[in-house]
Structure 1
Amino acid sequence: MTKKKAQIGYEFLDASGNFIYEARETGKTHTPFASEILLFQSIKCGDLTGVKNALNLYRQSGLIIGHMSDNPSRKIHYWAVSTIAVAIHYAILGGLDESEAYQLSDFYIQKIDSLQTMEECIDYLCEKAIELVTKVKEKSIPQCYSPLINQCVHLIHIHLHSRLKIEDIAKSLHVSRDYLSQAFKKETGVPLHQYILDQKMEEAKRMLTRGMTINAVSYTLCFCNESHFIQLFKKKYHMTPAAYVTGTKSRL
């Protein structure tokens, strides 16, 4: 079987008790920080073009990776996991909800754990860099929001399957209901109760697309009943959930 060639060339540095001396002798050192920060900053900014450009630079120059283990398999996995950890942190700094970001991190690392070669790891990380920056671009919390509103949005995001009440959110954030409602409307331009409903509706669309029944979606998102959910869905999207599902299938 022919060994698969990775998208990006790579080289591991040899073990050395005097890294600086060896670097001066051989001229080889780690991949420049400037190259790494270009990739991670692009993820943070939701800059898909920037990520693609950064990956192209890696394709041209290759990777030089430090000696992290004498075990060939471990050094591959150590490098891949550390790369994922940094990328996820930059995605959170870019506004991706931390609960979703850490869930992605766990999923990525589980996959890396099953890969055997450096070539597989590099190709997988290139693919996930594109996926991650796309999620930051599409789902990030605007960084112009205050910490209070960022925390509020985060709480809503992770509790969409609950019967969200503004007073409960305000209590969790140690502010009054009125203060939170006023601050949210002032910063986002959207009433808090409307934002909660909008998020539930968008999640309902995703659930319906994944094949969940209308009744299951209504129950999971804690609407009063199925009829109420259908009424709200139709009011927002000008079609029933059933019509949305039919339309989605026809586009596939």
Structure 2
Amino acid sequence: MSASTQDNWVHFSRDADTGIELFRTHITGNTHAYDPHWHDDYLIGYNEQGLQQFHCRHQVQRATPGSSFLIEPGELHDGESPHHEGFTYRALYLPADWLHRQLGGIFENLPDHYELRAESTLSEDRLLLGSIASAYIALRENEPRIVRNACLDQMIERMTAHLSWRKTQNSELLLPRLAREGRDFLHAHLYEDIGLEQMALALGSDRFRINRSFKAAFGMAPHTYLIQLRLVEARRLLAKGVKPAEVASDLCFSDQSHLGRWFRRAYKLTPAAYHRSCSPG
């Protein structure tokens, strides 16, 4: 599936066996590319051409041609093209549960109560780049299953040089109460048309204190967080085959066009195009 707007374009497909999503995208120069957002998947890819600039881990990341990138599930990031020629990149979205299952074949004993961490967002490891490119092509061209498996295994093995195990910590205790309870409130009311006053009443505070606490903890206001949370859920529902209009209604967008405007700002795809590619049958 391909989509384009003027000089911007996206090639997207989804591997039925693994659930891995493939993106190859070109963004024109001197433009804002993506709103701050996150994914439930591991995002691995590389920059083909131009300079891709984005914020992640409280830093400005600058991916040049040949740079690989690895973004963990839940890591907030955006994107922009600061130079006239724009940038082009390829990426694979690896479902977290799928990746963890594959790692069981690499490590004899997976540590308990630990989780994966990318040592750094960007890498200049040429072997990693080559393994990403091979895996992308094998899936994109629907090579025989044994070839797809071999290329993915090679990529994962190379990834492990850039991953470490970190002890799973209860980070909840580090969050201010208002931020923690505010986030829980948003998750609990994902499918309801809630307002800030309703949230403030439930938390026994006021909207201004909640806003300040939430921004300090999560880097965005509650309403922005809720929109992004709903976009992640929209992707999940669309991939399951739920129709875009139904997804929009369920997640409290005013209509399919409203969902589409937010969806394109985060993913450069319409919900309908994403739905078609994930459920070709």
TM-score normalised per structure 1: 0.43
Q: TM-score, normalised by structure 2?
A: 0.39
Name the one with the larger strand percent. 2
- Identify the structure with the greater helix proportion: 1
Rg comparison, structure with higher value: 1
